[in-house]
Amino acid sequence: MYKPVTCLFLLMSLLWSSIAAAEIYKWVDASGKTHYTDKPVSGSKQQNSGSINAISNPAFNLEKTKMQMKYIERNGNMFVSGRVNGIAMQFVVDTGATYVAIPPAIAKRARLDTRNAQKVTLQTANGKILAPLISVSNVEAGGIKQQNILSTVQKLSPDGTTGLLGMSFLSGFRMTIDQDRKMILLEKK
């Protein structure tokens, strides 16, 4: 007679071998959309075995949907280093701000044209202001890059080099703050 441990070992071996043998197939439908499945479809091609997180379609690479943004805390604010069209600046993370806000001096260096920009009314700590609203080609914060981000141009700090990282940048992410590590954890929605 088989002992229970031997039976369990055999059952686990069979289960593991069936999981390890799982295959993933890739196919493209008539509209050009790419699909992945564990069952072969007419015209599908088998993908290389490996982690489901690392199949060849970047939209399915789960580890790339989680990002970390290091911040420095000063006076109760979270500051992250960033760039606007390649020009370095500092951002204060502000989930209450609708848009990314860029200081005029940085906007000028980044060659952002505000002459024909729509003006929007913004509620600030100092009252309401009118500011030009533009789309910025490249905004980077904490190493995370996004394109075509709605931004305002306005002076926020005495030195004119600090802006706001608002929801026009952050809204595509679930955000968690790890205060022990001084890290903002972002996961694509």
pLDDT tens column, 2-42: 566 555 555 555 555 554 555 677 767 778 777 777 777 77
100 and 47: one domain?
A: no
Longest dimension (CA), the chain: 87
182 and 93: one domain?
A: yes
31 and 110: one domain?
A: no
97 and 141: one domain?
A: yes
Domain boundary (45, 60, 75) is at: 60
Give 23's DSSP letter. Answer: -
The number of domains in the chain is 2
CATH number at residue 91: 2.40.70.10
- In angstroms, the CA 102 to CA 173 distance is 21
Is the pLDDT assigned to residue 43 strictly greater than 90? no
53 and 145: one domain?
A: no
Six token digits for residue 52: 């489901």
Greater model confidence, 35 or 53: 35
What confidence tens digit (pLDDT) does each residue in 157-174 have? 888 889 999 999 999 999
92 and 184: one domain?
A: yes
Kindly give, in sequence order, each residue whose CB lies less than 8 Å from that of residue 129, ignoring residues fewer than 6 positions away.
Answer: 121, 122, 154
Mean pLDDT for all residues in the chain: 82
99 and 155: one domain?
A: yes
- In angstroms, the CA 71 to CA 73 distance is 6
109 and 128: one domain?
A: yes
Residue 58 is predicted with a pLDDT of: 52
37 and 104: one domain?
A: no
Domain that holds residue 120: 67-188
Residue 68 is predicted with a pLDDT of: 92
71 and 141: one domain?
A: yes
181 and 106: one domain?
A: yes
For residues 34 and 45, the answer to whether their CB atoms sit within 8 Å is: no
Residue 44 is predicted with a pLDDT of: 63
The sign of the torsion formed by the CA atoms of 46, 51, 56, 59 equals positive
43 and 125: one domain?
A: no
Give 69's DSSP letter. Answer: E
